[in-house]
Structure 1
Amino acid sequence: MLKGLIFDLDGVLTDSAKFHLAAWNDLAKELGIRLTNEQLNSLRGISRMDSLDLILQYGHQTNEYTEQQKKQFAAAKNEKFLQQVDTMTPKDILPGIPQLLADAQEANLKMCIASASKNAPKILHKLKIASKFAGIVDAATVNKGKPDPEIYQKAQQLLHLKASEVISFEDAAAGVAAIKAAGQFAVGIGDRTVLKEADYLVASTKDLQLDKIVAAYINS
């Protein structure tokens, strides 16, 4: 029986992912690394330090910096990102999401956030939807990033629910893999070829309809 919904944040509830990718791209250029669109998009849904490690790998600079230097790079990237977050308003909530959240509340479904972003609380506050969620998994307590299932397992525990009682939403392949590894029903938002492991797929958030998603979950 469905009792809860778990959401990634960037690219699912709001397009803050574009701010992340722009900030990472700027940092890469400063390090003399030119990222392809495919490489840049591979950073979606993974943690800050994992993203930096991937960028350095793409630029063949994996062993050129100390951990302290890498932390400084990540902090500089985050500062640029936060400057963009400060401009966010409820208008930045993606299409279809307000209705989905309203329908979920009406159905008495518990909801929480499973995001690799340590800035999730601030973003939800800027979007004025923080009160709709029972909680947010603290990214600082997650030892393994997506596609490891840890963050979705923690979200499930936060809601005091079983894997079979939740539906989780993602826009990144690593996120969908994490959901499936956690034994949960995965809703993918985006490209079918990228998110082919999802149990239910829509092209964009405006196509999310709770009744159709629940029907697919019941029949899975």
Structure 2
Amino acid sequence: MPIKAFLFDLDGVIVDTAIYHYQAWRRLANELGFDISEQFNERLKGVSRMESLDIILAQGGITLPDDKKNDLAAQKNGWYLELVSRMTSDDILPGVATFFSQVRKAGLKTALGSVSKNAPLILERIGMTNAFDAIIDGTKISKGKPDPEVFLKGAAELEVSPAECVVFEDAVAGVEAGKRGGMFVVGLGSPDMLIQADLVAPSLAALTVEEVLKKSE
């Protein structure tokens, strides 16, 4: 079945907001009396906000009621939004513009599949809202990755089947989500980490659309 659509994660694929997430989560951890490292932060990639908070609280040995956790998640998000609101098109990762140009020339449909509720804001800041035919973010899903919901909804909105989709992901949870959704998955990052991916490259800058389509045949 020929590929008709490319579905992209946002963080680590189009832009790299991991440093902003880390700064905000670390500030929260510090206020709770402990610290988290950048290495620890890798565990939070592709994971929803509340799940990330649970992982951090477990790291600090802290148990809190849901209302308090909601307050902390909102506080972290406020700090994060302060940081991402300063983003511009300069924050688009190398190779993204060229790759998307190839995507359009190939006549492929595009969707964003991100668990972030801030994805529309980030796309607006970097000027890429119109690069996507469909945008599925954290406000449109009930399950975070590795559940495939975000990508299955993207395929449905594009009116294509999962088998006609290629997913681009940098996180282990995201790669698993794409595979569970029955899609061809391109992992962006380390082959040692993204072992479930069908194809692995350092970034979009290292790929061409023609190469991806050929590999996914």
Structure 2 unaligned regions, length at least 5: none
Checking the alignment, whether the CA contact within 8 Å between 2:99 and 2:204 is kept in structure 1 is: no
Checking the alignment, whether the CA contact within 8 Å between 1:97 and 1:208 is kept in structure 2 is: no
| CA shift digits 1:164-204 (9 cap, x unpaired) | 11101000000000000001000101111110111010123
| 1:88 counterpart residue number | 87
- When the two chains are superposed, the root-mean-square deviation of aligned CA atoms in Å is 1.1
| CA shift digits 1:30-52 (9 cap, x unpaired) | 11232243321100111111110
| 2:56 counterpart residue number | 55
2:147 corresponds to 1:148:
yes
Q: Number of paired residues?
A: 216
- Cα distance in 1 for partners of 2:201, 2:14 equals 14
- Cα distance in 1 for partners of 2:12, 2:156 equals 23
- Cα distance in 2 for partners of 1:139, 1:99 equals 27
- Cα distance in 2 for partners of 1:147, 1:125 equals 26
| CA shift digits 1:40-78 (9 cap, x unpaired) | 1100111111110111112221xx212111111111111
What stretches of structure 1 move > 6 A for 4+ residues in a row? none
| 1:214 counterpart residue number | 213
The alignment partner of 1:42 has SS state of: helix
Structure 1 unaligned regions, length at least 5: none
- Cα distance in 2 for partners of 1:40, 1:184 equals 27
| CA shift digits 1:72-108 (9 cap, x unpaired) | 1111111111111111111110011101111101111
- Cα distance in 2 for partners of 1:194, 1:16 equals 19
2:156 corresponds to 1:157:
yes
Return 132-141 or 86-95, whichever deviates more.
132-141
Checking the alignment, whether the CA contact within 8 Å between 2:99 and 2:205 is kept in structure 1 is: no
State the AA in 1 paired with 2:27.
D
State the AA in 2 paired with 1:71.
N
TM-score normalised by L of structure 2: 0.96
| 1:33 counterpart residue number | 34
| 1:122 counterpart residue number | 121
- Cα distance in 2 for partners of 1:139, 1:174 equals 15
- Cα distance in 2 for partners of 1:4, 1:73 equals 37
Percent identical among aligned pairs is 39
2:196 corresponds to 1:197:
yes
TM-score normalised by L of structure 1: 0.94
- Cα distance in 2 for partners of 1:171, 1:206 equals 14
- Cα distance in 1 for partners of 2:23, 2:153 equals 29
Return 110-119 or 16-25, whichever deviates more.
16-25
